[in-house]
């Protein structure tokens, strides 16, 4: 049984209360216009506000109460998860720092090799648009991973 008996009774009580409120709203007179105590709804019908309140307002949930053993388990799991996230974040930051250092070394080597190429690699083009033909970089593999039937022509192999 997915639901406990208490939950089923609470739901039945809630729907019974909602039915009573809706019946009362249907019997209420409709006030249109007027300055005192008017409705805030767009068309001036107070029943719409009441129906919206019954349908869309969620009942207040009671706070979750855990036994001391369950609370200790929960806190242990939370601390472990925070530790895992911290380790992942530090590993990612370390990998990015290594990539940045390699990029800096490559730029220094390019500057030593060819000052012209270095200056052009560092300049920014105005109104540059990312090539629309390229596939966006994602963490998921491409739809067509590899075509193993492709063969290299015999004459084009470089030794």
Q: Which residue has the tokens 């220094």?
A: 108
- In this predicted model, what pLDDT tens digit does every residue of 22-75 receive, in sequence order? 666 666 555 555 555 555 556 667 888 888 888 887 778 888 899 999 999 999
pLDDT of 137 above 80: no
Give the integer Cα–Cα distance in Å for 79 and 57: 34
Q: How far apart are the first and last CA of the chain?
A: 71
> What is the value of pTM for the model shown?
0.41
pLDDT given at position 75: 96
- In this predicted model, what pLDDT tens digit does every residue of 77-103 receive, in sequence order? 999 999 999 999 999 999 999 999 999
């Amino acid at each position: 049984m997915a639901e406990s008996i208490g939950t089923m009774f609470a739901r039945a009580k809630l729907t019974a209360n909602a039915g009573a409120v809706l019946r009362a709203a249907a019997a209420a007179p409709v006030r249109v216009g007027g300055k005192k105590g008017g409705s805030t709804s767009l068309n001036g019908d107070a029943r719409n506000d009441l129906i919206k309140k019954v349908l869309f307002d969620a009942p207040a949930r009671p706070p979750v109460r855990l036994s001391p053993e369950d609370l200790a388990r929960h806190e242990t799991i939370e601390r472990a998860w925070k530790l895992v996230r911290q380790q992942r974040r530090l590993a990612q930051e370390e990998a990015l720092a290594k990539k940045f250092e390699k990029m800096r070394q490559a730029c220094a080597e390019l500057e030593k090799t060819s000052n012209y190429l270095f200056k052009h690699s560092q300049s920014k083009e105005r109104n540059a648009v990312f090539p629309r033909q390229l596939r966006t970089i994602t963490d998921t593999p491409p739809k067509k991973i590899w075509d193993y039937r492709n063969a290299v022509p015999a004459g084009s192999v470089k030794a």
